[in-house]
A and B are shown apart, each in its own frame.
Chain A
Amino acid sequence: MSSQFGLYGIEKKFGKFRAISVDTLEFEDDSYIVVLGPSGSGKTTLLRIVAGLETPDRGKVVIGGEDVTNVPSWKRSVGLVFQNYALYPHLTVYQNIAIPLTVEKRPVSEIKKSVDEVVEVMQLHDQVGKFPKQLSGGQQQRVALARAVVKNPKILLMDEPLSNLDTRVRVDLRGYLKDTQRKLGITVIHVTHDQEEAMALGDSVVVVHKGEIVQMGKPREVYGKPNDLFVAGFLGGINLFPRESVESLGIEGDYDTMGIRNEDIYIVEKKDPHQLSGVAGYSQFLGAQTLLNVNVGDIKIMTRIAKDRKIKYGTEVGVILDLKNAVFFKDEKRVDVKIPSI
């Protein structure tokens, strides 16, 4: 049985450049899906195909159990929040939100009721008479969101919705977006290049790279068990050890690289028991934590240490790896390796 929402055998090319190709991608109802990838990876094209702003060269788009591949955007039951909001500058907030309904010639009373409802959810009651220019970035964003959901679409699409905002507003709005999704009981597809945002918001994260989906799963899964070196590096700081440099740890198995995230490496004094030894490099004080560079042989690794801990440049230190969180790769792909209990 196919799911309510899905993409099947999708491919889109711009000239010779393959923007995106998807074998099968199915979404669960009412979930918050984040599509994550670097710029140029094809994530926005994926979103635009769902929205109907791009027609795929081949493949099928299913929304609400129906094939909508050849259905125009406005009949697809999708709402889209644009990166720069794309509010109509000559219309008031109220008119902007109401426009998808006025176009359908719904009765005025019904339009008012729907708009009032969504204005309530988005906490925009004080703004309805204003023009977009008179609003702050965060408010404009909420108006764009309101316009996208006023028709009760089955899917809400968001293209980098937070990237035009200040860092602080961005973090506040994350909670707001998640709340809104719960309240409306709607499926959200949210496109971003920010891995922190992806993990904070997503029920599942879809990682896109070079026009392909490289991994899909819950945030913890994608972070902890990345499918390949790209995903491992893109989701957060990771240290890679070629096999020969960690031969002393005695891990058997078919792998060529071992990866360990920054926070899974501990630095101890040289005299304490340790697995590898290294020399401390520069440290970066970041407020909540400190990042420390350590040279292990000719491998440069980075690790987190407590914010008030100071290790002088050039000090010889011991390095302990938390091997139960290690991931192993062969030819850039993850492989399962049994770790001997020590």
Chain B
Amino acid sequence: MRSPTKKQALFLIVPAIIYFLIFALYPMIENIILTFQQENVNTGAYYFVGLKNYYELFQTPHLDRIFENTLIYTFLVPLFDIVLAVPLASFMKRLNKAYILPLVLLSSLIPLVTAAVIWSFMLNPFYGVLYYIDKVDLFSNPWMIVVIDVWTSLPLATLIIYSGLRSIPPAIEEASQMDGIIGARKLFTIDLPYVKSSILSATVLMILYGSFTFDPIYVVKSSAAPFSITDLAYFSYQLFFSDNVGFAAVLMTIMTGISTVIALLFVRLTLWERKSSGRQFFNFMPNKETPRYLAWFFTILYLAFFLFPFMWLILESIKTNPEIVAIPPIIIPYIVTTAHYTLSYIRGSPYFLTSLAVSLGTSLLVLLIGAPAAYATSRYRIGGLKFIGFILFIYSLPTVIFMIPVFEIVNAVGLINSWWGLIIAYPVFVMPLTIWMLYNFYTNFPKHIDEAANMDGMNVFKTFYSVILRLSGDGISVTLLYSFILAWGALIFPLALTYTPFNMSLANPSGAQTATIFVGSTIGHEAFNYGALSAASVISIIPSLILIYIARRRIEKLWRVGGNVS
């Protein structure tokens, strides 16, 4: 039997469920249907073609190359991430300085497009730092994409493992001190087995991250040889734009299938605690605390890897044009200019305005729908683990697979190339994380507060809107900012759903190309204008800096993608 409060709580979650049915579940089904169809070029109507689209899979030239690249991104990125994240996380724990984590996280919170732009500056064999290392052209090399992916995803992997290490109870730490297990041996004997589930979650998440790499390819593509760096996600996007919708749908269905398998693993790892067993003792490891200077040394190396590119970008943005293209590259500019900022402000303001409005709208919408759902699930177990499992599943799907059906939906309601079109579409990739973050927040939220409110005669809605919501400032503010960042960095949806910049008229608005499009394609490609591109990239980083500053103390607790829920 259902209690009346449970019935009421159901209404809190309904909007989220309806949204996901339309924008997530329907696209997955629609994709499968589309694989059997083709578009009539003249009328735009779809007609049934049987398995023709599937046959095409085997007739595509360069498909081996595309699969090879996909595999490289899928397996090398997580490999590097985990191998690099474990030492960094343990050094960070050893040093125990609160300011290191925000510095590490920065590169994962900026738009991916910007990250790719930064690295194409850095790795330019004539004008970039690469000149001083080795004058090779990496632009047609998948390794360049791997570097960008690692730079943007390593912080997340580190954060998950670091949070795991920090959650080891102090008594266990002291017990191992009493037993004489310290330093590297403690890391392998006690710490890593303890955070095994965090490491596995991080691995799965990084596999998902690498396997659907899109934005860096989009940016680097213009300087790369055809198909040299293309992967499945990017290829299916190209097919969509060359009106080969049916074939694109085949690839998207394949990707959905693959990521479903990986995602199931991820959901299992995240929601169910694993039984542990292990009897290896790493007795060969040195049983000595890592000297602090050594931990500092390596941490600083890592920080240099994370932060040097930002410095390069900033220097680039204040150089004059001749200095930007000087060979050998000039590191510290002789003449400082703000001209690039002026230019990118004049040219970029419609794009930045759109991104600002759309990100703001999206984060509010996501909060409006997501917060009650997260609360209802965590408090009243509505949908229980099934709902949260579904949320994590959506979270682990590549955004590109939603592209075609979401385009159809937005087109059907006449919102293509408008702010509102983006605002209603974005939550499909923003809201899963919002709900997950708030779910964790409300799970740790003292229960006696809503019980007291219930005793005082408030129903579930009143309790939520007039008591709980007012007390969740901490969780809401960070979640809101994080949703904003996700929306701010979006690329695939704006590419699919918009085609002109905002016309700067609120009375008769049209156009909704975003800052990511401005940075990712418009500015660098029309003309050889690295200065304005770097200035625009700097501007695109500002929201991330604000987020990190505000959330610096809380982000470790809220972003519990890898932890166990129990």
Chain A residues near B (Cβ < 8 Å): 51-53, 72-75, 78-80, 82-92, 95, 99-100, 102-105, 131, 147-148
A100:B174 contact, CB within 8 angstroms: no
Residue of A nearest to B185 (CB): A103
A83:B171 contact, CB within 8 angstroms: yes
B132 to chain A, nearest CB (A): 46
Q: Which residues of A contact B444 (CB under 8 A)?
A: none
CA distance A103 to B288 in the complex (A): 12
CA distance A139 to B503 in the complex (A): 73
B194, CB-defined interface residue at 8 Å: yes
Choose one: B177, B180, B194, B287; the contact of A89 (CB below 8 Å).
Answer: B194
In the complex where A83-B171, A91-B278, A105-B283 touch, is A51 in contact with B178 (Cβ < 8 A)?
A: yes
CA distance A164 to B28 in the complex (A): 51
Choose one: B171, B179, B278; the contact of A99 (CB below 8 Å).
Answer: B179
Choose one: A51, A86, A103; the contact of B172 (CB below 8 Å).
Answer: A86
Residue of B nearest to A53 (CB): B174
B179:A103 contact, CB within 8 angstroms: yes
Q: Which residues of B contact A52 (CB under 8 A)?
A: 177
In the complex where A102-B283, A103-B185 touch, is A82 in contact with B179 (Cβ < 8 A)?
A: no
Q: How many residues of B contact A (CB 8 A)?
A: 26
Chain B residues near A (Cβ < 8 Å): 169, 171-172, 174-182, 185, 189-190, 193-194, 196, 275-279, 281, 283, 287
Residue of B nearest to A80 (CB): B178
CA distance A79 to B277 in the complex (A): 25
In the complex where A86-B169, A86-B171 touch, is A74 in contact with B177 (Cβ < 8 A)?
A: yes
How many pairs, one residue from A and one from B, have CB atoms within 8 Å of each other in the complex? Answer: 78
A100:B179 contact, CB within 8 angstroms: yes
Residue of B nearest to A88 (CB): B190
Across the A-B interface, give the 5 residue pairs with the lowest CB-CB distance, nearest first: A74-B180, A86-B171, A86-B175, A90-B276, A90-B193
- Given A89-B194, A99-B181, A147-B179, 10 extra CB contacts under 8 A: A52-B177, A53-B178, A73-B177, A74-B178, A75-B180, A84-B169, A88-B193, A88-B194, A100-B179, A102-B281
A90:B185 contact, CB within 8 angstroms: no
Residue of A nearest to B289 (CB): A72
CA distance A104 to B185 in the complex (A): 12
Q: Which residues of B contact A78 (CB under 8 A)?
A: 178
Choose one: A83, A103, A148; the contact of B181 (CB below 8 Å).
Answer: A103
Q: Which residues of A contact B275 (CB under 8 A)?
A: 131
Q: Which residues of A contact B281 (CB under 8 A)?
A: 99, 102-103
Q: Which residues of A contact B181 (CB under 8 A)?
A: 99, 103
A130 to chain B, nearest CB (A): 11
B177:A90 contact, CB within 8 angstroms: no
Residue of B nearest to A85 (CB): B171
Q: Which residues of A contact B177 (CB under 8 A)?
A: 52-53, 72-74
Q: Which residues of A contact B194 (CB under 8 A)?
A: 88-90
Residue of A nearest to B169 (CB): A86
CA distance A88 to B189 in the complex (A): 10
Q: Which residues of B contact A103 (CB under 8 A)?
A: 179-181, 185, 281, 283, 287
Choose one: B171, B175, B182, B196; the contact of A90 (CB below 8 Å).
Answer: B196
CA distance A32 to B189 in the complex (A): 34
Q: Which residues of A contact B287 (CB under 8 A)?
A: 103
Could you list 6 A-B pairs, sorted by A, with CB under 8 Å? A74-B178, A74-B180, A79-B178, A82-B175, A89-B276, A100-B178
A244 to chain B, nearest CB (A): 48
Residue of A nearest to B174 (CB): A53
Residue of B nearest to A78 (CB): B178
